[in-house]
Amino acid sequence: MTILVTGGAGYIGSHICVSLLLQGHSVVIIDNFSNSYAEVIERIAAITGKKPVLAKGDIRDRTFLKSVLETYKCSAVIHLAGLKAVGESAHRPLDYYDCNVYGSLCLLQAMQAANVKKFIFSSTATVYGVPQYLPYDEKHPLAPENVYGRSKLMVETIMADLYAADPGWSFSILRYFNPVGAHESGLIGEDPRGHPNNLMPIIAQVAGGRREKLTIWGNDYPTADGTGRRDYIHVADLAEGHVAALAHLEKAGLNIYNLGCGRPYSVFDVIHTFEHISNRPINYDIGPRRAGDIAEFYANAAAAKDKLGWEAKRDLRSMCADMWNFQVKNPQGYQG
């Protein structure tokens, strides 16, 4: 099948493209490179021996989208393009709703016009909000606490309404937990433009000497070591989850799956594992709690296992080792 991957040059998208190409699919990437680099396309080709088609452009351009869908006869769309920084979303709500909600709407309209009705959407565990119980399952109430999470929930709602109106659609909503790590080759990984906010890329940069220290946002949470605990998932496992969801899209329906490992690790767990793997000390200090942070959350990923036959296989050591390998091979990121 030919799969359109929006945001395919980004961190998660590039790993999905690799998995798809290795499974024998053809891949068309739409990306505007607002948070990625064209070099990624060459790296995907180096890993797989197959070059994805690149259609540079913006998901808010319906005419462009329809023309790409028709020109390359795409059978399904995996939609990752969007803005993803929670803190930034509070300051730029219109940009977030424009890119994430309006962009997704344009994409669904273009798909409808081109009669392509298989769609996988990148959502997030952030849609659940403050845990009412743990682990979160897909039936947990949805109450996102920030603009980013609300923009994702709005798209989920649009999909549900569209499916109610036309059950010919095949929809898969994938709620990611905390994606980390890199491809085992060290050729592709996470290299956001500007300063990263997430824990693992900061730790990798500290270990690599690109950044002086990590500030731990709070050590007074009601967890064993006082730091926040998260369900980190290797990006390669996440990518394989998309391939599994794609196979399942053969049947019409609207399905929602948590993609996580189902067990949480603390900030200190990650620091100590990374130190062990990299043989470098991670300098840190303790700061105040970060606004909007939650003590702990993790996934019940049983639905993905039962229905998609998928479960995460790679452990925290493998996540840190592959993250470190990418950092060592690309000390200044893709532009180095």
Instruction: Return residues touching ligand NAD (CB under 6 A).
Output: 7, 9-13, 30-36, 58-60, 80-82, 84, 99, 103, 122, 124, 176, 179
Q: Give the residue with the Cβ less far from ligand NAD, 207 or 299.
A: 299
Radius of gyration in angstroms for the set of CA atoms belonging to the chain, rounded to a whole number = 19
What residue is closest to ligand UD1 based on CB?
228
In the bound complex, what is the minimum distance in angstroms from residue 7's beta carbon to ligand UD1? 14
Q: Which two tokens stand for residue 235?
A: 């990006």
Among the listed residues 211, 217, 252, 272, the single contact to ligand UD1 using CB under 6 A: 217
DSSP secondary structure string, 293-315? --SB--B--HHIIIII-------
Binders in 33-62 for ligand UD1, by CB under 6 A: none
Cβ neighbours of residue 272 under 8 Å, at least 6 residues apart? none
What phi, psi does 233 have (nearest 5°)?
-130, 135
Interface pick for ligand UD1 out of 126, 151, 205, 327 (rule CB under 6 A): 126
Contact 36, 80 (CB under 8 A): no
Minimum CB separation of residue 230 from ligand UD1 in Å reads 5
Nearer to ligand UD1, 120 or 238 (CB): 238
Q: Phi and psi (nearest 5°) for 85?
A: -90, 115
CB 268 within 8 A of CB 214: no
148 catalytically annotated: yes
Active-site residue, from 148, 176, 221, 257: 148
Which residues within the stretch 281-320 sit at the binding site for ligand UD1 (CB under 6 A)?
290, 292-293
> Is residue 216 near ligand UD1 by the rule CB under 6 A?
yes
Does 86 bind ligand UD1 (CB under 6 A)? Our answer is: yes
124 binds ligand UD1 (CB under 6 A): yes
Q: What gap in Å lies between CA 123 and CA 257, rounded to an integer?
A: 10
Please identify, using beta-carbon distances, which residue of 52 and 135 lies nearer to ligand UD1. 135
Nearest distance from C-beta of residue 54 to ligand NAD, angstroms = 11
In the complex with ligand NAD, the residue whose CB is nearer, 99 or 277, is: 99
Cβ nearer to ligand NAD, comparing 105 with 252: 105
* Residue with Cβ nearer ligand NAD (93 or 226): 93
Q: Which of 74, 75, 128, 121 is nearest to 101 (CA)?
A: 121
Contact between 244 and 23 under an 8 Å Cβ cutoff? The reply is no
Is the alpha carbon torsion for 16, 21, 26, 28 positive or negative?
Answer: positive
Asked if 268 touches ligand UD1 (CB under 6 A), the answer is: no
Please give the structure tokens belonging to residue 79: 């939609």
Q: How far apart are CA 276 and CA 271, in angstroms?
A: 9
235 neighbors 12 (Cβ within 8 angstroms): yes
Contact 122, 176 (CB under 8 A): yes
Report 140-199 residues binding ligand UD1 (CB under 6 A).
148, 178, 197-199
Assess 267 for contact with ligand UD1 (CB under 6 A). yes
31 token code pair: 């990306």
Task: Kindly list the residues in this chain that would bind ligand UD1 in the complex (CB under 6 A).
Answer: 86, 124, 126, 148, 178, 197-199, 202, 214-217, 228, 230, 267, 290, 292-293
Catalytic residue IDs: 148
